Amino acid sequence: MEVRKLIALKQFFHCVHLHLDGTGSSYRCLKVGIKRQDLEIIQAVEADSISSLKEKLGTSLPLLLLISGAKVIDKKLTRSPNYLSEVLFNNSLDDFYLNEREQSEHMLISVARKNSIDPILAEFEAAGFELLEFRFGRWYLSAITELLPDQFSVMGYDPHSLSLTDFKDTKNSLSIGDQQFEESQSLALAMAVVQLQPGVWTTNYAERTTALKTEYKYKKWFKRLGAAVLVFLLTSLVGSYLLTAHYNEKNVSLQAEVAAHQQLQNEVAQLEKDKAFKDQVLEELQLGRKAYLSDYLWQIGASVPAEVQLESLVLFPLAAKVKDEEFIAINGRQLELSGVVSDTQSFVDWTEDLRAKAWISSVELTDFQRQQNTNTFKLTLHL
């Protein structure tokens, strides 16, 4: 199944269809991923409870959820200025989750009360799933039938008459391109296809799903940053030990021969100077102190507001141009940050928050430029 763009947060993810029939729940899940330029169905899983689903899937991949059945109302309405009143009557739209797709003469809508759905979403979050997106209703079957060669009925949905009959959970084999799947898995697969059609379907809770994706993105970023910092610290510690052992051995050997040859004395002096410089570098890297670099990086990352996109963080920038056969001079008490900001007030508040931190002596704005609809910035933090 050829794709151009898929969800950018994860190469592989789980698409789950939860059907509520009034007496119980059934879960259909597809693990979907990108291989070259194809949307690939990797694994199919069925479960009758969320605990069973967690046991079979795990929680390491992000999850796209579609809910249908007893707590969801699917309607085809004639297009009119007040078409929603035919479903909501005198109720407020704020009390409902709304999914809709516009047709030439009709509106395909699915609605569900928030007080009925929120406990289900909370159950997924409590189980540890990384929920990125949630949708409602069987109208999403149209995303599948449009890709089928003959556009025939699937799970009670007739694409020719735009009508829904009783829910049919069948296991007929279907195929789109070279991908094989069961008819009962159509709504799970529809969640993956919908990600490729962001403008076709609309909801009244886009801000919430955007927040879920943003939260997942930052969790993933901080995990990678933490791993990188840990590797850096461990490597530095090992390097420190090896350097110290090496230069101690050289010093003992050279000092034993210093009386016999003046050149050896000069070499010892140079080695001691080199060792002192490296000890200073290690000191400036804060190894062995109580305030670790990883804590500073975590505090910076945790303080970045949603309106600021941090693009680079330079640890201890060069103090001067690197020259051959000369020591590399660094600013061991500085960090340089750069990125883009969409809201200047949030940026100002963020810099004030950085200045308030005890381990930062000052915050210097070295560059701030307007580029199209965003602003770019460069900050220098003096420790």
* Residues 381, 359 contacting (CB under 8 angstroms): no
Looking at the structure, tell me whether residues 193 and 49 fall in a common domain.
yes
Domain span at 188: 12-202
Look at residues 144, 168, 202 and tell me which one is the last residue of a structural domain. Answer: 202
Within 8 A by CB and 6+ apart from 91, the residues are: none
- pLDDT tens digits for range 328-382: 777 778 889 999 998 889 899 999 999 998 888 999 999 999 877 788 999 998 9
Looking at the structure, tell me whether residues 31 and 176 fall in a common domain.
yes
Looking at the structure, tell me whether residues 312 and 188 fall in a common domain.
no
Looking at the structure, tell me whether residues 114 and 182 fall in a common domain.
yes
Look at residues 167, 182, 202 and tell me which one is the last residue of a structural domain. Answer: 202
What percent of the chain is modeled with pLDDT above 90? 35
- pLDDT tens digits for range 98-130: 999 998 889 999 999 999 999 999 999 999 999
Looking at the structure, tell me whether residues 297 and 358 fall in a common domain.
yes
Looking at the structure, tell me whether residues 220 and 364 fall in a common domain.
no
- The residue assigned the tokens 């001691």 is 272
Question: Could you tell me if residue 2 is inside a domain?
Answer: no
Looking at the structure, tell me whether residues 36 and 184 fall in a common domain.
yes
Mean pLDDT for the stretch of residues 285-294: 57
Question: Could you tell me if residue 5 is inside a domain?
Answer: no
Residue 178 in this model has a pLDDT that exceeds 60: yes
Look at residues 202, 219, 246 and tell me which one is the last residue of a structural domain. Answer: 202
Question: Could you tell me if residue 332 is inside a domain?
Answer: yes
Residue 287 in this model has a pLDDT that exceeds 80: no
Q: Which burial class, exposed, middle or buried, applies to 144 when counting CB atoms under 10 A from its CB (0-12, 13-18, 19+)?
A: buried
| Helix axes 344-355 and 293-303, enclosed angle (nearest 10) | 150
- pLDDT tens digits for range 234-261: 777 787 778 888 788 887 877 777 767 7
CATH number of domain containing 306: 3.30.1360.100
Looking at the structure, tell me whether residues 78 and 193 fall in a common domain.
yes
Question: Could you tell me if residue 189 is inside a domain?
Answer: yes
Residue 198 in this model has a pLDDT that exceeds 90: no
Q: Indicate the pTM of the whole model.
A: 0.56
Task: Give the pLDDT score at 3.
Answer: 41
Q: How many helices (H) and strands (E) does the chain have?
A: 9, 17
Question: Could you tell me if residue 331 is inside a domain?
Answer: yes
What's the structural domain count of the chain?
3
Looking at the structure, tell me whether residues 73 and 114 fall in a common domain.
yes
Question: Could you tell me if residue 4 is inside a domain?
Answer: no
**Cα–Cα distance for residue pair 26/133, rounded to 1 Å:** 19
Cα of first residue to Cα of last residue in the chain, in angstroms, is 53
DSSP for 78-146 reads E--TTTTHHHHTTS-GGGEEEEEEE-SSEEEEEEEEHHHHHHHHHHHHHTT-EEEEEEE-GGGGHHHHT
Looking at the structure, tell me whether residues 260 and 382 fall in a common domain.
no
Question: What average pLDDT is seen over the chain?
Answer: 84
Looking at the structure, tell me whether residues 360 and 216 fall in a common domain.
no
